[in-house]
Structures are given as C-alpha cells and as structure tokens.
Structure 1
Amino acid sequence: MNRRLFLKIGTGLVGIVGAPVMFAISKASAGDVIGKLVKTNAEWKRLLTPAQYDVLREEGTEAPYSSPLNDEKRVGTFVCVACELPLFTSKFKFDSGTGWPSFYDALPGSIATQTDYKLLLPRTEYHCARCGGHHGHVFKDGPAPTGLRYCNNGVALKFIAG
C-alpha cells in the first residue's frame, strides 16, 4: 500500500470515528448573503500567482514568517486577494507568534467553515464566502473576546490601508 492510499484510508476512518468530537465555528450562514463568485481552475490560474493558487485553490500552506502581512500594523482592512471581499479588520489582528497573520474574529458573513481531516485530527478550515478560496484554519486558542485564532496564509490576503 503506498503512502497516499494509506493517508486517504486513514483520513476517511478518522473522519467517521472523529465526527462526534469535531467542533464547528460557523460564520457561514451570514455568507449566504454574499453573491458567489465562480470561476474555472484555468481562470483562477490566469488571475492568481502560483503561490496564491496553491493556497486558495489547492488548500496549500505558505511557509511561516514568509508574509509581510504578518508584521502589518497599520489601520485598515484585510481582503481576499482573489475577489477582494473584506475578511478582517486590523482591530481583529494580533501577534500569535505562529508566523502567520492571525485574527481573533472575522467580519460578519465573510467566511465559511468546514472540517478538515488532512492531519488526521479534525481542524476547522475557513474559506472566503464569496470565491471559496482557502485562507487557513481557526483554532480555539486565541485572545479575548472570542478566544479564537484565525490563522491566515498571508499570500491569500491583500491589505487596504485606511
């Protein structure tokens, strides 16, 4: 049995067994208000850089500490780089020490979540509510007032000052 097949089978089993213990952090219901943006893979490849495509469409992860947005401190809004939907405001940003831009909350209706079993244990991943682009994962180890940490790939964001 090759490694890929082993991981697929293992992931499926964990998904079945782990389903009762998964947690959901849902912002998706408000996302239904936002018009969906649908493009083919070929269209996304033309519009995005290879790194952006890998993260947003293939659910890849950029290297920690590689994004200049990790150190962004100005007042402004962080938007989806693919469709420019506002996702986070700078007042939600905090230094998590993880090497990725992190936020303790998202703007209402901006993200949709689903459970990810790629590392066998369930995690909550989040996507842009408009274009479906993968941005990162949300964990329950963030600061007050939410206790959440939206761990975002910087390459999936664009910062708009002001």
Structure 2
Amino acid sequence: MSEQKYEVQRTDAEWRELLTPAEYQVLRQAGTERPGIGEYTNTTTEGVYSCRACGAELFRSDTKFESHCGWPSFYAPLADDRVEYIEDTSLGMKRIEVRCARCGSHLGHVFEGEGYDTPTDQRYCINSISMRLTED
C-alpha cells in the first residue's frame, strides 16, 4: 500500500482483525476476486456503494452499468475526492488502480475509451468484495 497518510489509519494487524481473509487479500493486498462471483456483479438494487474497509461512500447505483466484464462497473465515483488513482504496471500492462481516498484500500481499476455508451466513457471495474451496498 501507499505511504500516503489517510484519514483512516490502521496497523496491518488491525486490518487483518477487521476484515475476512478474502476481504484483506483484495482491499489491503490489491488482489482481485474471480470474475462473475461477486455479490454486486449483477444487482440492480438502488443505493450507495461504500468502502467495505472504512465505510466511505464511493459510488451510487445510478452510475452502475452492465459491462459484461464479470465485476460491477460504474462510469463515475460519487465525487473525484472519494477515490485516488495509482499507476499499476503489474501483470505486464499499464492500468490505473482505484483506491479509497479515505483509507487507501484497493477497489479495482478504471479503464477508458472502451466504447461503452456512458456519459464519461469510463469503466470503474470494482471488486464486489471491496464494497457494501446500502439500499435507498
């Protein structure tokens, strides 16, 4: 994780106690859940998606769209200051990692220029396990 100071600070031991092993692997070690298995991949429930690690509100259901990629997709966060962007060159490619700006937890990646009919032409490909949905 980044050396940046976040509003929510916890030790590695505290994160491990707070999160399940699967949540820890994705949120704190920048892992990825398998495609198609996440609880929010196909949901159309209206509400707000928050960071599972710290509770920061990140995305609204009205920006969620079906991208058929295997993970929940959004075309924009609630506000630009809710997420941070980190260059990710792992796996032999250049991607933009998306993290929670409040605690630094890994959420997924953002892609653009893929041709989706969305207002931003961006796809925030976010792990279900990184979020909690609070219904409207």
Provide the TM-score with structure 1 as the length reference.
0.77
CA RMSD of aligned residues (A): 1.0
Find the residue that maps to 2:40 and give its secondary structure.
helix
Shift of 1:119: 1.7
* 2:118 is equivalent to residue 144 of structure 1: yes
* Aligned-partner Cα distance in 1 for 2:32–2:63: 21
* 2:66 is equivalent to residue 84 of structure 1: no
Q: Look up the equivalent residue of 2:106 and give its one-letter code.
A: H
* Aligned-partner Cα distance in 2 for 1:144–1:64: 22
Structure 1 unaligned segments of length 5 or more: list them: 1-34
* Aligned-partner Cα distance in 1 for 2:135–2:42: 14
Shift of 1:87: 0.5
Shift of 1:143: 3.2
Q: Deviations over 1:12-62 (max 9, x none)?
A: xxxxxxxxxxxxxxxxxxxxxxx6111111000000011100000000000
Counterpart in 2 of 1:153?
127
Shift of 1:120: 1.9
* 2:25 is equivalent to residue 51 of structure 1: no
Pairing 1:1-162 to 2, within 5 Å after superposition: 36-108=7-79, 109-140=81-112, 141=114, 142-162=116-136
Structure 2 unaligned segments of length 5 or more: list them: 1-5
Aligned length: 128
Bigger radius of gyration among the two: 1
Q: Look up the equivalent residue of 2:125 and give its one-letter code.
A: C
Q: Percent identity?
A: 42
Runs of 4+ in 1 over 4 A off after TM superposition: none
Structure 1 or 2: more helix by fraction: 1
Find the residue that maps to 2:44 and give its secondary structure.
coil
Q: Deviations over 1:35-94 (max 9, x none)?
A: 611111100000001110000000000000111211211110000001110100000000
* Aligned-partner Cα distance in 2 for 1:68–1:43: 25
Alignment check: 8 A CA contact 1:104 1:143 kept: no
Structure 1 or 2: more strand by fraction: 2
